[in-house]
Chain A
């Protein structure tokens, strides 16, 4: 039985899905080379600019700015916590890596959201789009994350750009899903009220659907950022830079100390990004309005 089960060759011919994808990627690389070059240059320059802005000033200036941001969105506890966390990162000599990773996360998340939120809105308003998008998102979310790195390396070689592209693909799903869900969940009667008073669909989207869906959309944004951070570490495998590089290096050298320090820096970044984005979600007008209830 066992032998029969293992030896599928006699029952099913070898299906060369892998070869087909490989051929497809090769063809894409050849055909769209100028386009991919342009994409690479574009992302590289944005990433370089952001990374430069974050790592050029003395670390305490950036740390203070980020702590001030945390203080502003949530309060003094998060502000102080942020400051201590970033001081610890600097103390572990991971500052430059952390800023590179932060720049990667920001660029990848912004791209994922710029694509994902409009797609989610479209899917919420169009049943056909929704039906096509859903399985694609399932596929993108369940495919092991680092598999995305392989074709992006083929296309973009190594460096931050394949990391960013793979991160966008990996992290986009919740941005689309939460947006679609949020808009679909908006009370139908309120949308009807907009129509009944003679509003256009575009205006209903802007004044009713998006504001009322905002808490859900913000939860999606939070998810996108967290996924992006986890993927940024994985993309250290293709030399994307940042904390991922040290994590991968520590793994190869079995360097517990380095691995733990880089990992801890990732955790601190994650907590900072999570708390700040969820605090922003609470500041959405609808969320605030509902909180006013006593």
Chain B
């Protein structure tokens, strides 16, 4: 429990724009004496010490969510994440602290104003879809608009648009019970989108779906987000989902937020043992990208340099091959040391003839999971390129394997790695930066 002293609620990253959602020192205690429990917690009592006064579901939560951001709250069941998200639209009132939706403080509004805020500012997607079984898909999607008091034809039109967005245009007249789980949740999503609020709360929205459908829905959400730019607060117990979707992630444990950061920050720099243990199980290959594990090539050869220069540089760097770039560092291909030497002996002036243009290059944002197949086929470290096709780094196979092992086991793995002699061709393609400048 003393480990909790390292628990820091990092304030949100500073940004110029006003936050869409702002949570300030929020507590939620269920039980007979919430006020007293909050006072003791604020004075430093632990969750167990205030048990007799009530169950502390959320303790001192503070964070800002920027407009257009996907903010994921991640934690196991009982960590308080569901309670936290329900305070963002006033389904629960905080025991202490402030919840701001834009300029409106949910802690300070009456019932009528709260309902008005829910209609205009914030909508929600539920774990088990929460559709009205006796209404058609269209009428379900139109439900928030109905509550907003919008006329029948207008709300049906808007609901239809929302259904088109989620790819259910043809199902408007079906009943929810006629749809599969994934489709039902799309209706739930369409309903939230039809409400046309800036903030979207998603409570374990994909957790009830089977894995294939779930990742399909994740992709669809990201696609929609690209188009719509909503502010999304997403609750999940699945770290892989959190890391895949979240611009930033808050990790919750026993009611407290133990770390807020990007997926890579949390993975590479866990705030405490708990987070570290938690992320040990994460599928690192889906979170880490090529750019986070790539190295500088030991040698690159400029295409204008000629075979003789290329051969000399490779000999000096003791590699058997090197990537060839032009003056802008655009990747042109691969040259092998023996080819370059042979061309130099034969007096070939231009390097073009000996360059093998058929190389596998991966984009810098490619997840590691997608690097294994090309890495296995490639005799040389994988080339990593940016949007313009410029060579930004290489990923040797050994590095790729090392990256898959969590930090605390890293040393052992590295030792084992050096013990295995790498195949000769796997060493190569490195070089001096000099060649490119």
Contact = CB atoms under 8 A, between A and B. Distances in A.
A289 B175 contact: yes
B147 A198 contact: yes
A49 to B, nearest CB: 35
A293 B127 contact: no
Interface stretch (A29-37, A111-119, A167-175, A184-192): A184-192
A288 B135 CA distance: 11
A195 B115 CA distance: 8
Contact of B147 (A197, A212, A293): A197
A199 interface: yes
A192 B130 contact: yes
Contact of A292 (B116, B128, B147, B175): B175
A81 to B, nearest CB: 30
A198 B178 contact: no
The B interface, classified by DSSP as helix, strand, loop or mixed, is mixed
A197 B123 contact: yes
Given A203-B147, A289-B175, A293-B178, A195 B118 contact: yes
Contacts of B191: 197
B147 A290 contact: no
B307 interface: no
A14 to B, nearest CB: 45
B74 interface: no
Contact of B133 (A189, A197, A199, A289): A289
Interface residues of B, number: 31
A182 B117 CA distance: 30
A208 B133 CA distance: 10
B2 to A, nearest CB: 37
B126 A286 contact: no
A285 interface: yes
Interface string B129-159: 1111110000000011001100000000000
B119 interface: yes
Interface string A48-86: 000000000000000000000000000000000000000
A211 B147 contact: no
B294 interface: no
Contacts of A289: 133-134, 175-177
Interface in A228-247: none
B130 A197 contact: no
Contacts of A208: 132
Contacts of A290: 133, 177
B89 interface: yes
A195 B119 CA distance: 10
A286 B134 contact: yes
B135 to A, nearest CB: 8
A211 B321 CA distance: 73
A196 B89 contact: yes
Given A195-B91, A196-B91, A285 B126 contact: no
A197 B134 CA distance: 18
**Which of B132, B176, B191, B195 has the most A CB atoms < 10 Å from its CB?**
B132
A35 B119 CA distance: 49
Sorted from nearest, which 10 A-B pairs have the closest CB atoms?
A198-B119, A198-B118, A285-B134, A193-B130, A293-B177, A197-B144, A196-B124, A189-B130, A198-B115, A286-B134
21 contacts: A189-B127, A190-B130, A190-B132, A192-B130, A193-B126, A196-B122, A197-B143, A197-B144, A197-B195, A198-B116, A198-B117, A199-B115, A200-B115, A211-B132, A211-B134, A288-B134, A289-B134, A289-B177, A292-B178, A293-B177, A293-B178
Interface of B: 89, 91, 115-120, 122-124, 126-134, 143-144, 147-148, 175-178, 191, 195, 201
Given A196-B124, A197-B195, 10 more contacts: A189-B128, A196-B91, A196-B123, A196-B201, A197-B119, A198-B116, A198-B118, A208-B132, A211-B134, A289-B176
Interface of A: 187, 189-190, 192-193, 195-200, 203, 207-208, 211-212, 285-286, 288-290, 292-294
